């Protein structure tokens, strides 16, 4: 059974989603693409074999020949487009974040709850990464005992030009917030942000270090370092009562050359999470075709945003901040 | 553009191929399945959504609603089914080996050459394994200089009940022969088989050790150990003039438990080569849809069989044996 | 030139020191041993070939046939014995801690400053561990840029019976405080202790997590987990502006067995730091023979104790605590 | 109890031995040094605190103030100096090889057998390397079952100027022959040498590949690559019935920099085997002081030379060659 997909926004992420759906996801039909830049939309349609280019994102959402929508347009547009999908009763895979503020996220929660049916998936693709899945399976096997501490590291080569120093918390760390919530199956309750003052004051990509507590009493700590220079590197170690499980080292091969032995880092997140995007999008299409839902929900999108907001407050006020969440609607339990 | 596929043989490998085509390969339509055991064919069809079950393999080949055939039936049937596909002018992905003997392989070469068009792909899936591809790309980058020695290791947990000691060379080592030919882009010219007499005499899965030479003057050595007990493990190191490149260690995660730190081996080849099968089958379908060919050719299937035959002779006569190949038809150059 | 050493306390650590001095340190002569348990002193003297057993620790210190003293008796005795060594103008290698409280440490600082000559070395042996030394050399090479964050992990198999939960900070973390001060060549200025409430309330060896800041604006974080069960494991990663350097994985060999590939952890710190103890003691004897001093000074012992005191206050009051140090005497600059 | 040592030859290896004995081996007294270059002997004596410089190597051997002799002079002198030590009834640690030919080695065997007491140790220091020792202990634990295949790799950065292509077998591979005999506790019976013709014809340091069989029916294979360029690298994997054990990866630390993660190789053998030399020399002195013997015997020196001679014949004649040994005297059983 085919699912006809429309994609809104085909910049770096959206174009990748189009390629993945076209070449890796049986059952997905690329029905229409929209982009604020029609030339770009046309180019990606030509490359991926998408059937048509839409002139207007809301028209795309409402188009009866479209079964489901993937939103990869700028963050500020996410909420309205997601609400439009809900209004049209269409499944939507919205790139993270669900919305830049918790207030907007709550609008989505309210609309979806009112509808009484889960149609929103948020693109926290790490939940589909085989290494994180393997980590969770290992933990759930019980061999290691109960989890106590989760150490997380997230490093990029360099900050993009539009980056400001708060975005390490609001844009990058949200992936860690989501994966920690998913891994430990609980909510984050407190956050404290530390900055090494040794880092250059003018550097928006300088490291931050976050310590969080969960509702189950675990500690999570996160280093985010956007200007890490040396490579794209995501690490995680889950410390349990009797043992630990870590994400493996990078690279499929090892090279011995020039007095060193080692493996390569990718320059950005796409090679590292190529499997995760493929599996996420396959699961999304399969869930739509089967009438079920998969992946991060609107609630998960809201919760990550709530942690980020508390984190920004901690960064500004240099103290621990409690994370408060609205009551969780039945739909998300 | 869709390619309607018929699969002949849905045992372990064939059923996996059906699943991969159904869930991982856009553009493939599972049109019909055949198996000597109709119950099994029906069960796999139900699971994968295949359109129909065929009553006869040759009828399946000739069925005009079938665009391409995947042969995963017993080795002894490969040649005749492949010839039938050629007669029907249909692309065929034949599981390795192309045929148990070089004489049979040559029949396929002759038929395909006469047809003047490459329709046969042999299922040497390692050519699509991301780690081997990365190894080859690293070598081709020139950073390491020219390749001189290729060390290969292939270990299984235990020999199946039908295994005999010659099969380490004829059935298992052929994967190494093919990957060495592909990696070094040359033919193997000589083979010598060594057996450690310390291994239990009654053990069909005892190790063998093979030393091969290439037409370009490189050495290839291969350990095949079917009863290795500890896990499914394929290793490779390509030693070049200025450096080496190796396949990475197993496992996506690392566990610290019980006074040890390490990662897990799979119990068989399927998790290890899941990516390779997926990418092979995607490439096969894409090539058919695009009119091109991909992967190991009938010539490659013949060449691996020729090395295996020489290897069996070396095993029997305990000496180095030269590998002779028929002249390579223009079609394969 | 020989250095005649007296050892006070030959329990686990003191007996190891005796063995190391006897079998690994040219130039050291084991002149006398003292232990509160004379039978134990006799046994260790017999094993190591020490010349004599002393009846009284202070007499040992004053014995003119003794050139230098190694103090490995219970922590509560360290201060008085070290002061006695200073009174006798003899070099002393005092096992960590220099003393349980900063007040006692300050007495030692005052006495040594008054003497105007550095005679005290504190047994923070990690400064001699080849891996930490290699980490520091790598950092000092400048290739990685300036250090920003130091991640530290210190895990034991299980807490000894006499352990209480405060000791993770006061007894175990002091090694991390010292190595961080040495690695970054600066003082620690603030400490905040976090506890995962998920850990069993009755467990004295439950993990604690510490975040510290340095006078140079770096962040240091430390996980201490005494009941980690799986092995003795010390990890460290120094994150610099352009790259990172980590302590290597454990084990000299790797084993493939039972569907896993990995290496062994030691059950306690002695195999892990055997090189460090040997090199520390060699450096101590060489420094005495050459009239110089090596290793951690009394100031270093005091500074680690000051961080521990602040850490205990943070643990009790659940907030960040500033670390205040007395003025550093000229002798230690 | 002190052992007064005289060293003959203080070039690269001999000077290192002098340093190790002076700074790492309690009980060793550097009594005298001899070198064909008296200026070098004087410089090393000054550096290491050796008591005197001898004018003549045989006078050094006979000097009654010398208890034991370490021979590190050119290979051609080893036999005569070792015989002189036997004549003087003094323990001798002779750098490998015991002698360049088996004929000369047999002279030493005859002289020592006649004496009826083992005084000769050959400097095959790998037997003391903690990683090889750990490998052997792991094998002897029985967890892995009986050993079947031993894979060995030995690579250097570049061949010295005086190297010729036969020396890969006669000078470098002897370390592998000795460690294989020691690891498997058996003799090597057959050897076959392969050369990759792809290597530059004018390269004395081009790789060779050796396949050997043992008297217990195991296979040993060895790659020797002197011009490997990328680093000094010794690898080994012992394949047993139920699992394997390998030497660990190089390096005490791991660095992430410039899109790669890895650890460093040393440029030559000295850092790699520093522990082995120290432990060998400690064991030698301890054995002399205690009246026992340790390490590789004259028989071991002879056996390695016999394998090398057969290897050179195989290289010249391009066929498998049997290794024949003289009868083993009771002294060596």
Does D1 score more than 70 pLDDT? Answer: no
d(CA C181, CA C136): 12
Q: How far is CA D263 from CA A73, A194, A255, B261, D238, in A?
A: 42, 30, 11, 18, 23
Q: DSSP letter string over A146-196?
A: SEEEEEEEEE-S---TT--TTHIIIIIHHHHHHHHHHHHTS-EEEEEEE--
C69 touches C6 (CB < 8 A): yes
> Considering chain D, what is the average pLDDT of its residues?
96
Query: Cβ of C258 under 8 Å from any chain B Cβ?
Result: yes
Helix (H, G, I), strand (E, B) or coil at C6: strand
D225 touches D154 (CB < 8 A): yes
Query: Cβ of C259 under 8 Å from any chain D Cβ?
Result: no
User: Would you call D251 and A261 a contact, using CB atoms and an 8 Å cutoff?
Assistant: yes
Q: What is the mean pLDDT of residues D240-257?
A: 95
Q: What is the ipTM of this complex?
A: 0.96
List the structure tokens of D64.
Answer: 């009654």
Q: How many CB atoms lie within 10 A of CB B216?
A: 16
Which range is least confidently modeled, C152-156, C251-255, D86-90, D303-307? Answer: C251-255
Q: Give me the pLDDT at residue C200, please.
A: 80
**Mind spelling out the 3-state secondary structure of chain B?**
CCEEEEEECCCHHHHHHHHHHHHHCCCEEEEEEECCCHHHHHHHHHHHCCCEECCCHHHHHHCCCCCEEEECCCHHHHHHHHHHHHHCCCCEEECCCCCCCHHHHHHHHHHHHHHCCCCEEECCHHHHCHHHHHHHHHHHCCCCCCEEEEEEEEECCCCCCCCCCCHHHHHHHHHHHHHHHHHHCCCEEEEEEECCCCCCCCCCCCCEEEEEEECCCCEEEEEEECCCCCCCEEEEEEEECCCEEEECCCCCEEEEECCEEEEECCCCHHHHCHHHHHHHHHHHHHHHHHCCCCCECHHHHHHHHHHHHHHHHHHHHCCCEECCCCCCCHHHC
**Mind spelling out the 3-state secondary structure of C19-83?**
HHHHHHCCCEEEEEEECCCHHHHHHHHHHHCCCEECCCHHHHHHCCCCCEEEECCCHHHHHHHHH
- Per-residue pLDDT band for B137 (boundaries 50, 70, 90) equals very high
% of chain A at pLDDT higher than 70: 99
The Cα angle at residue B203 between residues B197 and B209, in degrees rounded to 5: 50
Q: Give me the pLDDT at residue A110, please.
A: 98
Q: Give me the pLDDT at residue A1, please.
A: 66
Q: Give me the pLDDT at residue B290, please.
A: 83
% of chain C at pLDDT higher than 90: 94
- Nearest in space to B57 (alpha carbons), one of B23, B27, B104, B92: B92
Q: What are phi and psi of C303, to 5 degrees?
A: -65, -40
D220 touches D307 (CB < 8 A): no
d(CA D6, CA C327): 53
Q: Give me the pLDDT at residue B245, please.
A: 98
Q: How far is CA C99 from CA C17, C105, C173, C181, D194, in A?
A: 19, 6, 15, 18, 65
Residue range D152-172, pLDDT digits in tens: 999 999 999 999 889 999 999
Q: Give me the pLDDT at residue D63, please.
A: 98
Residues belonging to chain D: 333
With a CB-CB cutoff of 8 Å, which residues 111-140 of chain C face chain D? Answer: 130-131, 134-135, 138
Residue range D196-242, pLDDT digits in tens: 999 886 788 999 999 999 999 999 999 999 999 999 999 999 999 99
User: Would you call C262 and B261 a contact, using CB atoms and an 8 Å cutoff?
Assistant: yes
List the structure tokens of C165.
Answer: 């939960």
Residue D127 DSSP one-character state: G
Query: Cβ of D142 under 8 Å from any chain C Cβ?
Result: no
List the structure tokens of D233.
Answer: 């690298």
Query: Cβ of B196 under 8 Å from any chain D Cβ?
Result: yes
The Cα angle at residue D232 between residues D231 and D233, in degrees rounded to 5: 105
Cβ-based contacts under 8 A for chains C and D? 91
Q: Give me the pLDDT at residue C165, please.
A: 85
Cβ-based contacts under 8 A for chains A and D? 61
Residues 6+ apart with CB under 8 A from B133: B127
Q: How far is CA B329 from CA A102, B75, B112, B298, D169, in A?
A: 68, 24, 10, 11, 43
Query: Cβ of B262 under 8 Å from any chain C Cβ?
Result: yes
Residue D155 Cα, gap to closest chain A Cα (Å): 11
Q: Alpha carbon D158 to chain centroid distance?
A: 19
- Pairing outcome for strands B28-34 and B52-53: parallel
Q: Give me the pLDDT at residue B193, please.
A: 98
Q: How many CB atoms lie within 10 A of CB C12?
A: 11
Residue D141 DSSP one-character state: T
Q: Give me the pLDDT at residue D106, please.
A: 98
Q: Give me the pLDDT at residue B60, please.
A: 98
Interface test with A, best of C138, C185, C198 (most A CBs within 10 A): C198
Q: Alpha carbon C312 to chain centroid distance?
A: 18
Q: Give me the pLDDT at residue C292, please.
A: 72
Q: In angstroms, what is the C-alpha Rg of chain A?
A: 20
User: Would you call D231 and A259 a contact, using CB atoms and an 8 Å cutoff?
Assistant: yes
Helix (H, G, I), strand (E, B) or coil at C238: strand
User: Would you call D217 and B199 a contact, using CB atoms and an 8 Å cutoff?
Assistant: yes
Q: Give me the pLDDT at residue B1, please.
A: 66
d(CA D190, CA D167): 19
Does D47 score more than 80 pLDDT? Answer: yes
Q: What is the mean pLDDT of residues C208-237?
A: 98
Q: What is the mean pLDDT of residues B158-167?
A: 92
d(CA C168, CA A48): 58
Give the position of tokens 């006798």: C88
User: Would you call A209 and C197 a contact, using CB atoms and an 8 Å cutoff?
Assistant: no
User: Would you call D231 and A264 a contact, using CB atoms and an 8 Å cutoff?
Assistant: no
Interface test with D, best of A158, A262, A265, A267 (most D CBs within 10 A): A262
- Nearest in space to A95 (alpha carbons), one of A38, A24, A17: A17
- Nearest in space to C286 (alpha carbons), one of C277, C278, C294: C294
Residue range B249-306, pLDDT digits in tens: 888 999 999 999 999 999 999 999 999 999 999 999 999 988 777 899 999 999 999 9
- Per-residue pLDDT band for D150 (boundaries 50, 70, 90) equals very high
Domain annotation for chain D: domains and CATH numbers: 3-125+275-296 (3.40.50.720), 127-268+304-326 (3.30.360.10)
Residues of chain A predicted below pLDDT 50: none
Residue A246 Cα, gap to closest chain B Cα (Å): 5
Q: What is the mean pLDDT of residues B168-184?
A: 97
Q: Give me the pLDDT at residue D202, please.
A: 72
Residue in chain B nearest D242 by alpha carbon: B229
- Per-residue pLDDT band for D89 (boundaries 50, 70, 90) equals very high
Q: How far is CA C69 from CA A52, B179, C51, C83, C95, in A?
A: 86, 65, 14, 12, 11
Residue in chain A nearest D266 by alpha carbon: A259
């Amino acid at each position: 059974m085919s699912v006809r997909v429309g994609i809104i926004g085909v910049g770096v992420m959206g174009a990748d989603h189009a390629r993945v759906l076209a070449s890796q996801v049986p059952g997905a039909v690329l029905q229409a693409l929209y982009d604020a830049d029609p030339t770009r939309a046309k180019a990606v349609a030509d490359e991926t074999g998408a059937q048509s280019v839409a002139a207007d994102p809301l028209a795309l959402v409402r188009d009866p020949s479209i079964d489901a929508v993937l939103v990869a347009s700028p963050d500020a547009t996410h909420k309205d487009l997601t609400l439009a999908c809900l209004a049209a009763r269409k499944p939507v895979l919205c790139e993270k974040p669900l919305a830049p503020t918790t207030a907007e996220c709550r609008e989505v929660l309210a609309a979806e709850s009112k509808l009484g049916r889960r149609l929103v998936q948020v693109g926290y693709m790490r939940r589909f990464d085989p290494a994180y899945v393997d980590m969770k399976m290992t933990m759930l096997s019980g061999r290691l005992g109960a989890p106590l501490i989760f150490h997380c590291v997230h490093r990029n080569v360099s900050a993009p030009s539009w980056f400001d120093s708060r975005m390490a918390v609001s844009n990058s760390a949200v992936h860690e917030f989501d994966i920690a919530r998913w891994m430990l199956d609980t909510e984050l309750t407190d956050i404290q942000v530390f900055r090494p003052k040794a880092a250059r004051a003018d550097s928006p990509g300088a490291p931050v270090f976050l310590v969080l507590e969960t509702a189950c009493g675990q500690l999570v700590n996160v280093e985010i370092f956007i200007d890490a220079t040396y490579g794209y590197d995501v690490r995680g170690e889950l410390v349990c009562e009797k043992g630990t499980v870590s994400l493996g080292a990078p690279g499929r091969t090892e090279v011995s050359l020039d007095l060193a032995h080692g493996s390569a880092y990718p320059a950005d997140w796409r090679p590292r999470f190529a499997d995760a995007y493929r599996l996420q999008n396959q699961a999304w299409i399969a869930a739509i075709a089967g009438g079920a839902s998969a992946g991060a929900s609107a609630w998960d999108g809201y919760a990550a945003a709530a942690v980020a907001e508390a984190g920004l407050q901690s960064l500004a006020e240099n103290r621990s901040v409690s994370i408060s969440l609205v009551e969780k609607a039945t739909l998300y339990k």
